[in-house]
Amino acid sequence: MPVPALPSTNVFLSRKGYFLLTLLVLYTTLFGWFNWNSWCIILLAACRLWEGRILENIRSAFSNKLFLAYFALFIVEAAGFLHTHNMGDSGKVISKDATLVAIAFTLLGGRFADEKTFSRLMLGYCLGVLAASLACLGIAAHRYLKTGDTGLFFYHALTSPISQNAVFYSVYVLFALIFLLSADGNAALSRLSPAARKGVLLSLSLFFLGLIVLLSSKLILVLAVIVVAAFFLRRYRFRENKRIFLGLGLVAFVLIGILAATNNPIRQRYLELAQGNLKLIEQEKFNPNVYFNALQSRLLQYRFAGEILKEHHAWLFGVSPGDSQDLLDQKYIDANMWIGDPKEGPHRKIRGYIGYNFHNQYVETYVRDGIPGLAVLLFIFIFLLTQLVRRWKTTQTAFIVLTLMVFFIPEAPLTMQTGIFLFCFFPLLAFYSRRGIPSF
């Protein structure tokens, strides 16, 4: 049943103060100011609670199936506190997961945005990504002039000034690119002349695409190519624009050829996957000097996940969020993997594999929370996909949801606040795009 249009005064982001506070949440996330980010999220949720009638806002959230799903995931994680052996780490996990509830309540506790405020917010977000990225590139250039090290422009070295994981940050950049290529990106710059609008959109899109190349995430680079191709095919008819498509194809072919033929960090990251023997992970003990590529390390972590669940009889309810990482770290130690110098103590700077999670959110959630946690996580994605198919068929929303689903396979974003924000804020916000108001 379609949701009736409401006056703009009922839109949360129509209030200038709330709009600016939401932008501040986005910018503190992008620049890695996570302490400030936590306070901004709490303040934003408080504003949502006190905006209008408190009980109506609470009722609106708790009558929403998707909010209940996010809240259930938080409850399942919090329930692990009852059987954990590490109260401290469990408390940290719960405090991070509270962000999930706060963001979901803010977006689902009433009408959060309309078409206009959505476009304005996403334009502000793109400018924030641009500012953070230029800061990283500027610092990298400054360091390069001193050292001559080109590696400073790639991967984690590039995003180290803003304390961001390069792979996670590449998802933020990809979401900015998706918005710019959508109809909302064009609408956000409607005050400009058509020529100026095209120039800005093309310049920003090429910048973000180039940045994704520098960030060197294998998965996100492939997804970015798919996104660009899909948007062009959707917007332009191939028969009428053969020259444009052939020109873009030729440019892409040349760039891929240059990356494949020259020695560069991007090429090395792809070649790395083809190196190494997968049978290596079957060993019980390793030489600490053994190097595991990305595929080997993940398969080994999945093996450890099964062993942990079996040894602790935790197939149903998991081992708790507080104990999960401790048990995995012990597996690294028992397997004689590189963990730095233990003589320097538990707080040593170089810790090797200590602290590395399972690098798969579905596996991570199962080990932490068992079947209940995994079921809730899958329900959230299935529910979002169902809404896409039934009502909200926007390309950008589909790409955001599908990107996260795929991204959860090689990474475990919900172990970090920036990943939790990705998982909750952007899928919900994307449903406020040009199709109207979401009603879950």
pLDDT at 345: 81
Terminal CA-to-CA distance of the chain, rounded, Å?
Answer: 11
The answer to whether residues 61 and 67 touch, using CB atoms and an 8 Å cutoff, is yes
Taking CA atoms, 1 is separated from 66, 113, 307, 340, 395, in Å, by: 17, 19, 48, 59, 22
Taking CA atoms, 394 is separated from 178, 391, 427, 435, in Å, by: 11, 9, 12, 7
Which uninterrupted H or E stretch holds 317?
Answer: none
* Distance of alpha carbon 334 from alpha carbon 284, whole angstroms: 9
| Residue ranges of domains in the chain | 278-440
pLDDT surpassing 80 at residue 246: no
Mean pLDDT of 11-33: 95
* Distance of alpha carbon 181 from alpha carbon 229, whole angstroms: 11
Q: Structure tokens of 327?
A: 């048990």
* Distance of alpha carbon 8 from alpha carbon 14, whole angstroms: 6
Mean pLDDT of 392-400: 81
Torsion of Cα atoms, 70 then 71 then 75 then 78, to 10°: 80
Q: Which of 287-301, 324-338, 426-440 has the lowest mean pLDDT?
A: 426-440
pLDDT surpassing 70 at residue 392: no
pLDDT at 256: 66
* Three-state DSSP class for residue 275: coil
439 confidence band (pLDDT: 50, 70, 90): low
438 confidence band (pLDDT: 50, 70, 90): low
Q: Which amino acid, one-letter code, is at 364?
A: E
Task: Give the Cβ contact number of residue 365 at 10 Å.
Answer: 28
pLDDT in tens, 167-191: 999 999 999 999 998 888 877 888 8
DSSP assignment string, 7-61: -GGG-GGGSHHHHHHHHHHHHHHHTT-HHHHHHHHHHHHHHHHHSS-HHHHHHHH
pLDDT at 126: 95
pLDDT surpassing 90 at residue 388: no
Q: Structure tokens of 182?
A: 């959508």
pLDDT surpassing 70 at residue 274: no
DSSP class of 4: P
The answer to whether residues 170 and 421 touch, using CB atoms and an 8 Å cutoff, is no
239 confidence band (pLDDT: 50, 70, 90): low
Q: Which of 86-90, 236-240, 254-258 has the lowest mean pLDDT?
A: 236-240
pLDDT at 240: 53
DSSP class of 83: S
1 confidence band (pLDDT: 50, 70, 90): very low
